Amino acid sequence: MSTADDRPQPVDLPLLQIGGPPADDGLSSGGGGCGDVCGCEGDDDAFGLDPMECGLDPSLAELLVDAGLDPVQIEDIAHMAIEEDLDHGVDVTTVATIPEDAVATGDFTAREAGTVAGLRIAEAILSVVCTDEFEVERHVEDGDRVVPGQKLLSVRTRTRDLLTGERSALNLLCRLSGIATATRAWADVLEGTGAAVRDTRKTTPGLRSLEKYAVRCGGGVNHRMSLSDAALIKDNHVVAAGGVAAAFKAVRTEFPDVPIEVEVDRLDQIEPVLREGADLILLDNFSPEGTREAVELVAGRARLESSGRLTLRTARDYAETGVDYLAVGALTHSSPILDIGLDLCEEQG
């Protein structure tokens, strides 16, 4: 019988942070990178990585880069999705029912109204599974509003490959389009107020960049992409550090160039935070009336973000107080999918 002393002891490995170059110690990697649309205004190009070094078609990779996505990451996600679906085997239904040399055209079609996002990602998934080159006809672009029955993307390739990649492509396309559709509803409500809806880090592990991309397609803006992009001092940090001022000073000393956002839940906490030099103040669970008081108190000395108690019905009430952002975690953690299907076209002759 083994004892605790006999068991292998855990090795204290450095935390691997995705997205940056190796650190000076050669053991851990740097992190972050949030893009120019992020609320913390980071710089994704600072790492000197070449996103074009991937196995995707160069023209598709370029479109992904233009959209603020990393083709290497998209290729990895595409492989993961297909490999998960095949599980080291084959698509037994398709192989059994479809001749190997059969070719077909499939239309990705909206089943309901919404805002589409992820079309180029769906193409990337198909490019991974297709054994031959395929032809693509693009009918709409990410960010477009679509109606039921509208064609989004037509693909002609081997029928087996198209059907094998169908579900993986639709899973992401429907998921991202659902996020874009939900975000568009918020953006429409806020139109003309000067406030923007933005997301949080409440995202699906491994899909954060895609889900935040979908938010942008829907007219929203991104908050920080990672824990290393910006500091957000919340209640637990305040408790652990011994106060708001102590927490703020600790972050500013350790990371002098990082933007700092501080969460407050009372009006009397705002002035001390302003004196410390907060870049942005998160108003947690304030009422619209309390939010208006906070806006008047801050008087432009920092940006303000409302969080908690927010619904589409109350969104404009908050926006009209003068806050800069409405933080809505539900955009990425609770948005229903947009129903999109793949329809094979009947071959003529």
Annotated catalytic sites, by residue? Answer: 167, 202, 234, 263, 284
For the purposes of burial, counting CB atoms within 10 Å of the CB of 275, is it exposed (0-12), middle (13-18) or buried (19 or more)?
Answer: exposed
Comparing CA positions, the residue from 16, 17, 71, 68 lying closest to residue 44 is: 68
The Cα 123–Cα 173 span in angstroms is 10
Q: Which two tokens stand for residue 314?
A: 């109350």
Q: Which two tokens stand for residue 193?
A: 């107020």
Q: How far is CA 35 from the centre of its chain?
A: 12
- Please state, as a whole number, how many other Cβ atoms lie within 10 Å of the Cβ of residue 179: 33
Question: Amino acid identity, residue 62?
Answer: E
The secondary element (H helix, E strand) that includes residue 146 is strand 145-146
Contact yes or no for 35/45 (Cβ under 8 A): no
